[in-house]
Amino acid sequence: MNFLNFLISGVSLGSVYAIIALGYTMVYGIAKMLNFAHGDVIMVGAYVCFFAISRYSLPPLLGVLLAVLLCTVLGIVIEKLAYKPLRAAPSLAVLITAIGVSYFLQNAAQLLWTSNPKVFPSFLDFGETGGIELFGGQLRVSYITIVTIAACVVIMLALTAFTGNTKMGKAMRACSEDKGAAQLMGINVNTTISVTFAIGSGLAAIAGVLLCSAYPTLVPTTGSMPGIKAFTAAVFGGIGSIPGAFLGGLLLGVIEILAKAYISTQLSDAIVFAVLIVVLLIKPTGLLGKPVNEKV
Amino acid sequence: MTNILKVEDIHVYYGAIHAIKGVSFQVGEGEIVTLIGANGAGKTTTLQTVSGLLRARSGGIEFCGEPIGRVPAHKIVERGLAQVPEGRRIFLRMTVQENLEMGAYTNNRDVADALDYVYAQFPRLKERRRQIGGTLSGGEQQMLAMGRALMSRPKLMMLDEPSMGLAPILVEQIFEIIANLHKNGTTILLVEQNAQMALSVADRAYVMETGKITLSGTGKELAASEEVKKAYLGG
C-alpha cells in the first residue's frame, strides 16, 4: 500500500512537471529557443494567486484565473521585449537572454515581495481529511492530487486537440517545421509565437498554483528547480512533442518520488538525471521524439 | 498586356555581400516568364526578395500596380502572389491535406472549392490526402508544394527550381503541369537551372549571372542564342 501511495504522489508531482514541460516544449517547438524564464513565470503565477486569495480574500477560482491572466500577459510581454528583437540573433544570445530574464523575474519578486517564505493557502482542503480514503484509510488521496492529475490530463488533451484541429494550432505546427515556408503561406510568424508564449505562460500559472498547493512554501526561487525538472521532462519525452512532455513529466515525477522513498532523498535528483542520461544515450531524440525521415 | 509584376533595379545584400546588383524585369498577365542561370547567380535571392522573405536595400517591386517592397511576407500572399520555394519545403510532419489547408491560410472563403480544384489538378494528392508529407516521394512532394501554393488562388505563382532533384520523367511531368496551369490562366514566374526545359515552356526569359541580368528575350530567341546554348544548354 505504501508503494501505491508513493506512486500516486509521484504521478501528482509528475503532473505538475508535465504542465510546465508542455509550455517548455511548445515554446521550443515553435520559437526554437529554451525559455529558461519559464520556471519563474510559475513563481509569479503562484504569488499572484497567493495575494489574491490570502491578502485580498478573493474566491480561490478567481485567484487562479487572475494568475493565469497575468502570466499570459507577462509571457507575451517577455517575448516582445526580450526575445523578439533577437529573432535573427544566434541561439546562444537568446539563451543567455532567457537566463537573464529568469534572474530578472526572481530579483523583481524579491524586491516586490521579499524573500520571506509565504505559506500558500490550501484552498482545496474540504472536509476533515482533505481527500478520499480508500482501503479502510490505508490509502489517502488528497483532493489537490486528484485536481492536479485531472488538470494535467485535461490540458494535454486540450492542447492535442488545439494543435491538431484548429487553424491557429496547425499554423503553430507549420511554424515549428519551417518558418519561411509558413510565411509564404501567409502565416504571421510573430503572432504565432506570441500565442505560443501566451499559452505556455498561462499553463505555467496553473502549474504554479498546483505546485504550491501541494508544497506550500512560496519564495522567489520557487519556480527555478521545477522549471529545470520540467525542462528535463520535456527533453526526456522528446522536446517539441506534446505527448512526450506529458509522458516525460509523469515519469520524472514518479522516478523522483520512488527514488526518494526507496533509495535516498539526497540522491533523488541525481538518480532522475542519471535516468535521463541513459534514456538519451539509447534514444537521443527522447522517448517520443521522432527524427523526420526526409525523402529527397 | 499589363504588367502584373514589375521589379525595378533592386539591390540585395547578405551582410556585406552584394548579391543582387540592380535587377529589373517584368511579368505580364498570363505569361510564363523564366529566370535561368547557373547556381549562385542570384535567382532564388531575387524570388525571395519579391515574396518578402528578403528585403532589397534599394529599388522597387510592384505587384498589380502597388509597391510591395516593404510589405511583410505573410501579407504578400494575401495579395495574390504565391511562391513554391526551392527544395519544396512542404510541412513534412503534417498530412497532405493539412499542407494544402496551410496554403489556404489567408483564403477564408472557398477552402473547399480550392481543395477540389487542387485535387482535380493533382489526383495523386487526393489519393494520399491523409498521408504524412514526409512519406511522399520527391515528385509527389513537388506536386504538393505546387498544390499548396495554388490553394491561395494566386494571380502570380513563382516556382523556384521545381525540377530540382527529380528524375527526368518526373521533370517532364512537372513541366506538363506547369504548362497546364498556364493554360488555365495562372501567370507564372519560373526559376530554373534546367534551362532547356524552362525555355521550352516560357514566353519570355531572362538570363542571370552573378547578380545581374545579362540577356533577355522570348523563350525561342534565347533557346536559339549562341551564348545561351554554350553556357546553359550544353552545346
Tell me what the mean pLDDT of segment B9-15 comes to: 94
Write the single-letter amino acid at A252: L
Contact assessment for residue A235 and residue A287, using Cβ atoms and an 8 Å cutoff: no
A182 vs B: CB within 8 A: yes
What's the rounded Cα separation, in Å, for the pair B38 and B194? 9
Contact assessment for residue B90 and residue B141, using Cβ atoms and an 8 Å cutoff: yes
Alpha helix (H) residue ranges in chain B: 43-50, 73-76, 96-103, 111-121, 123-127, 138-150, 168-183, 195-201, 219-224, 226-232
- Residue B37's CATH number: 3.40.50.300
Query: For position A240, what pLDDT does the model report?
Result: 85
Q: How many domains does chain B have?
A: 1
Out of A185, A293, A296, name the one closest to residue B102 (CB): A185
Considering chain B, what percentage of its residues have pLDDT values greater than 70? Answer: 99
Q: Cα distance from B216 to chain A (closest Cα, Å)?
A: 28
Strand pairing partners for B33?
B189, B204
Q: Between the CA atoms of A161, A167, A172 and A173, what dihedral angle is there, to the nearest 10 degrees? A: 70
Higher pLDDT, A76 or A135: A76
State pLDDT tens for residues B185-217: 899 999 998 888 899 999 999 999 999 999 999
What's the rounded Cα separation, in Å, for the pair A128 and A126? 7
What's the rounded Cα separation, in Å, for the pair A130 and A124? 7
State pLDDT tens for residues B131-142: 999 999 999 999
Contact assessment for residue A22 and residue A200, using Cβ atoms and an 8 Å cutoff: yes
Q: Does residue B219 lie in a domain region? A: yes
Q: Does residue B143 lie in a domain region? A: no
Out of A170, A180, A292, name the one closest to residue B101 (CB): A170
Class of domain A2-115+131-282: mainly alpha
B9: containing domain = 1-80+159-165+189-235
State pLDDT tens for residues A87-102: 889 989 999 999 999 9
Q: Does residue B145 lie in a domain region? A: no
* Average pLDDT taken over every residue of chain B: 92
Total residues belonging to chain B: 235
What's the rounded Cα separation, in Å, for the pair B136 and B130? 11
Q: Cα distance from A296 to chain B (closest Cα, Å)?
A: 5
Q: Does residue B98 lie in a domain region? A: no
Query: For position A284, what pLDDT does the model report?
Result: 87
Predicted confidence band at A295 (pLDDT cuts at 50, 70, 90)?
A: very low
Short-list A89, A90, A82, A88, CA closest to A35: A82
Query: For position A291, what pLDDT does the model report?
Result: 64
Residue A296 has pLDDT above 70, yes or no: no
Chain A: residue nearest B146 by CA? Answer: A185
State pLDDT tens for residues A241-287: 899 999 999 999 999 999 999 998 899 989 999 998 999 899 888 88
What's the rounded Cα separation, in Å, for the pair B57 and B76? 18
Residue B39 CA, distance from chain mean position: 16
State pLDDT tens for residues A29-49: 998 899 999 999 999 999 999
Tell me what the mean pLDDT of segment B175-193 comes to: 91
Question: What number is the ipTM of this complex?
Answer: 0.90
Q: Does residue B224 lie in a domain region? A: yes
Q: pTM value?
A: 0.90
Predicted confidence band at B50 (pLDDT cuts at 50, 70, 90)?
A: very high
Q: Which residues of B touch A164 (CB under 8 A)?
A: none
